[in-house]
Structure 1
């Protein structure tokens, strides 16, 4: 059983550590608010991903993917939310400069990011289908996928958030912050494009 679980762990590790909307938000939050104040956002994203993976394993994710109209609604809402966040990040200045959000994103913001992101649905449904034989019951598969995705997301987001906090130590001028925030906003906006392909 251990050898059959290794591909799942590798898939989840790669899927969660690669750059995307969630990792961009974690990096930007770490730079702007520091690691500790970004923990609620990271926990919201990780919890959202864990629950989404569990739901996909129970078969509800494939139901969503089989309904094109519902997929379009989720894509539209998710894209609008990500673009709104991208705009806020791109417009923000240095911390404590009075520009952009004064408080970090919340646990609920992180949770919504995942549940409104069609890429997350596709990733977790794909994992549920690919690794369904790891368990003889949907409930056990839901537990395995939920735990694996949740823990991997915590590690990945912590890494990206710490990178953002490191950037914050290096930035001395407001010009650096403008470039960084604009880059983070653009990366977050660009992460919407694959959703519509």
Structure 2
């Protein structure tokens, strides 16, 4: 499917509240177009809807305006240079990066990995840094997105507070019990999820 058409479907998924579907589409696009920093940025935005700072930091790692807390969360979860190489899912030489900052970041990660392992490593050869990978589930399971979390993730803290003002209720997930806050009836109803304007996450039209 062409890139533009897939991004249009991502926009439609977000508008309809199908956040997990939008995430999967963007993951596929990043895999197919690993050098496109805009796709990585959009994927980071979706991970913010889940409150997943580490994966938001993962996909913003090559951007100069990345969030320091998200970067720290990424580096904590993927604590070795080899794990960071794998997580960044880059292919080809650093010279293919669109910005000098991205090139510097990837060069720093690759150099640190080579120094730690004592031999050269390559983005296109995962076997070259396999010894630096431990048997560990590096990507935490995604928590369910909530309206207040989504609003906060797109920079609407006041709206998120309004959405959560009705008080929490308890719901059980497979791993833990979580607070899910109902949406205020006064919130604007748009795109299927009351109070959520998913158009905030749409890519700007060319």
State the TM-score, normalized to the length of structure 2. 0.30
Higher helix share: 1
Larger radius of gyration: 2
State the TM-score, normalized to the length of structure 1. 0.31
Q: Which has the higher contact order (CA 8 A, sep 6+)?
A: 1
